[in-house]
DNA sequence: GCTCGATTCAAACAACCGTTTCAATGCTAC
DNA sequence: GTAGCATTGAAACGGTTGTTTGAATCGAGC
């Protein structure tokens, strides 16, 4: 029993939230699974809502720190990392989360997906803020690898990648994730490079003109 | 009052579910908003869970039908539509959902995102099944536009596109969706074409070998 | 105009929720 | 050991949930 009650609650809650969702998971389930008293959640975290935020802060900090560290390492090796290397620094830490332990990381990916789906404005803003720091770093790195890219579009494109990453990681079976991550990096790199041609498909332009 | 009570319940429930999530939305809110009695939900649908599935069936049927119809039209025009045209047939019906009425479609996109996040196995399986039909059609169309594509990868890449579409449509502000959809088509087309080169990035191959 | 099935209604049900309370216990420092 | 604070414990609170019930109302068919 070297782990504190607080940590046991965090672990149990994270697992249950990922499996069942936030609202379906009850404090009674959490405390029972953590071998703690029902009142201890409110004692340590104040409320259920604040427990959720604490869980997110813990994992998101770790994930984003790993991403930045990986990007730092790449930039230390080469002053001008190519596009694939930058994308890997973003994608692979998420992948390693999925691989560590047994399915623990995949659960967190599902948790992340739930956070995207939820309309909790406070949680959403906190996540965006937590991400903003990292996104700016990666946007710079991509700009560096792709000097002619349009910065305005880049933000949208990074959102595409986050969406593809989050949804596929949360959905896919465990053993496939390595291959999928490699494919995603390749796909995203080609997508980013392809936008350089700045070619708006004719049919899309047609649609845009028809409605403006 | 030409619309039936059943339909008023479906509309009100869809709106509330998208705004607040499934579990936060109560039958009392739904029936009050639909000018119906509390018991009417259980009368018409049996339970809350079956109401949710009815809502999904209704909209997903319409969305996928619109996509197939659009693809049919494109293929009728040209026997061999280019990649962008195929992607637009997939993306734009979702976009039109977002534009119709006032924000009604965007709400459904958020609903879709919630369905992805939820672990309701039955709902999930039903959605996959509902999608399978459409995905096969579009995979064929993409294969036709890109004859050298690897069919195995294609499935993953279509999942990427669905993820990017769903997450960004659910997140973005209303007025931006048209531009974002055009950018997504362009990004996805470039990503698909880029995979033809079959080039696995060196650093990714390094990672794959290190762990196998 | 009456009947019978479909629909609506108000009310109640049992179950569960997050939170609070307050006494009991554990642990550290003097 | 004992004072004082942090932690745990059992129980209860007020409130809300989905569902059920049984009577009231409606509306078409004969």
State whether the beta carbon of B27 lies below 7 angstroms from any atom of strand D: yes
Q: Report percent pLDDT > 70 for chain B.
A: 80
Please indicate whether residue B26 or residue B207 has the higher confidence score (pLDDT). Answer: B26
Res. B201: pLDDT tops 60? no
CA of A71 to nearest chain B CA: how many angstroms apart? 13
Cβ burial B128-148 (10 Å sphere, 16+ → b, else e): eebeeebbebbbebbeebbee
Whether the predicted pLDDT of A200 surpasses 70 = no
Interatomic CA–C1' length for residue A196 and nucleotide C16, angstroms: 56
Per-residue pLDDT tens digits for B102-135:
456 667 777 877 777 666 666 776 677 777 889 9
The whole-number Å distance from A53's CA to C27's C1' is 30
- pLDDT beyond 60 at A199: no
> Which residues neighbour strand C (beta carbon < 7 Å)?
A 25-29, 38-39, 41-42, 47-49; B 5, 36-40, 43-44
Average pLDDT of the segment spanning A45-59: 90
> For residue B137, is pLDDT > 90?
yes
Give residue A212's pLDDT: 35
Does A167 lie at the interface with B, CB-CB under 8 angstroms? Answer: yes
pLDDT of residue B38: 96
CB contact under 8 A, B194 and A203: no
Q: Is the pLDDT of residue A94 over 90?
A: no
Mean predicted lDDT score pLDDT of chain A: 82
- The SS3 of residue A21 is coil
Residues on chain B touching A119 (C-beta within 8 angstroms): 19-21, 110
The predicted model gives A25-35 an average pLDDT of 95
pLDDT at A24: 87
Binned at pLDDT 50, 70 and 90, residue A60 comes out as confident
pLDDT over threshold 50, residue A182: yes
- Residues A110-166 have pLDDT tens digits of 787 777 776 666 667 667 777 788 999 999 999 999 999 888 888 889 888 988 887
CB contact under 8 A, B190 and A185: no
Per-residue pLDDT at A59 exceeds 90: no
State chain B's mean pLDDT as an integer.
Answer: 82
In order, the DSSP letters of B5-29 are: HHHHHHHHHHHHHHHH-TTTS-HHH
List CB contacts of B155: < 8 A, sequence separation 6 or more: B135, B139
Position with higher pLDDT, B167 vs A68: A68
Question: What's the rounded Cα separation, in Å, for the pair B77 and A171?
Answer: 36
Smallest Cβ–Cβ distance between B21 and the set A118, A179, A204 belongs to A118
- The answer to whether B117 touches B167, Cβ cutoff 8 Å, is no
Kindly give, in sequence order, each residue whose CB lies less than 8 Å from that of residue A2, ignoring residues fewer than 6 positions away: none
pLDDT higher than 50, residue B180:
yes
Per-residue pLDDT tens over the stretch B18-40: 888 888 899 999 999 999 999 99
CA-nearest of A37, A65, A52, A55 to A133 is A65
Kindly list the structural domains of chain B, giving each domain's residue range(s) and its CATH number in brackets, ordered by start. 1-46 (1.10.10.60), 53-211 (1.10.357.10)
Q: State residue B1's pLDDT score.
A: 44
Is the four-CA dihedral B63, B65, B68, B69 of positive or negative sign?
Answer: negative
C-alpha–C-alpha distance, residues A82 and B108, integer Å: 39
Chain A residues whose CB is inside 8 A of the B180 CB are 156
| pLDDT beyond 70 at A2 | no
pLDDT of residue A210 exceeding 70, the answer is no
**Whole-number pLDDT of residue A122:** 64
> Is the pLDDT at A171 greater than 60, yes or no?
yes
Structure tokens at A168: 């596929």
Residues contacting residue B51 through CB under 8 Å, at least 6 positions apart = B9, B10, B13, B41, B45
């Amino acid at each position: 029993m070297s782990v504190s009650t607080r940590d046991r609650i965090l672990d149990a809650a994270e697992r249950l939230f990922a499996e069942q969702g936030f609202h379906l998971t009850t404090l009674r389930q959490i405390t029972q699974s953590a071998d703690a008293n029902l009142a201890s959640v409110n004692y340590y975290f104040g409320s259920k809502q604040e427990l959720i935020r604490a869980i997110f802060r813990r994992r998101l900090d770790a994930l984003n720190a790993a991403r930045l560290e990986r990007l730092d390492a790449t930039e230390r090796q080469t002053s001008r990392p190519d596009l694939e290397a930058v994308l890997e620094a973003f994608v692979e830490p998420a992948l390693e989360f999925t691989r560590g332990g047994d399915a623990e990381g995949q659960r967190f990916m599902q948790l992340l997906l739930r956070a995207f789906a939820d309309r909790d404005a406070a949680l959403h803003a906190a996540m965006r803020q937590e991400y903003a720091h990292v996104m700016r770093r990666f946007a710079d790195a991509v700009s560096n690898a792709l000097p002619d890219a349009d910065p305005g579009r880049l933000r949208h494109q990074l959102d595409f990648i986050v969406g593809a990453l989050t949804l596929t990681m949360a959905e896919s079976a465990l053993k496939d994730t390595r291959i999928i991550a490699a494919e995603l990096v390749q796909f995203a790199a080609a997508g980013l490079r392809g936008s350089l041609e700045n070619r708006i498909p004719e049919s899309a332009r047609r649609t845009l003109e028809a409605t403006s």
